[in-house]
Amino acid sequence: MDFIQVPLTVFLVFVAPLWLILAYRSKRQSNQGLSKKDQDKLQTLISRTEQLQDRVISLEQILDEESPKWRDR
C-alpha cells in the first residue's frame, strides 16, 4: 500500500496544483483573443486578400473579353 501512497501523495501535493495553475493560465490567455500585433497582421492579410481578389476578377474580365471560351479548357 505504501508503494502507491507515496507517489500519489507527491502527485497530489506537487504535480496536480502546478498542472491546474498552468492549465488555467493558458486557458485564460487563449480567451483574451488576439494581441494588437496579431490584429494588425490579420488586417494586413485581409487587405492583401481583397487586393488579390480584385486582381483575379479583373483578369477574368479581360480573359472573358479576349477569349470567351477560356473557362472551358
Render 10-72 in DSSP notation, one character per residue: HIIIIIHHHHHHHHHHHHHHHHT---HHHHHHHHHHHHHHHHHHHHHHHHHHHHHHH-TTGGG
Kindly report the pTM of this predicted structure.
0.53
Would you list the domain boundaries of the chain? 1-33, 34-73
Whether pLDDT at 51 is above 90: yes
Whether pLDDT at 1 is above 70: no
Q: pLDDT for 3-47, tens place per residue?
A: 788 888 888 888 899 989 988 888 877 777 778 898 999 999 999
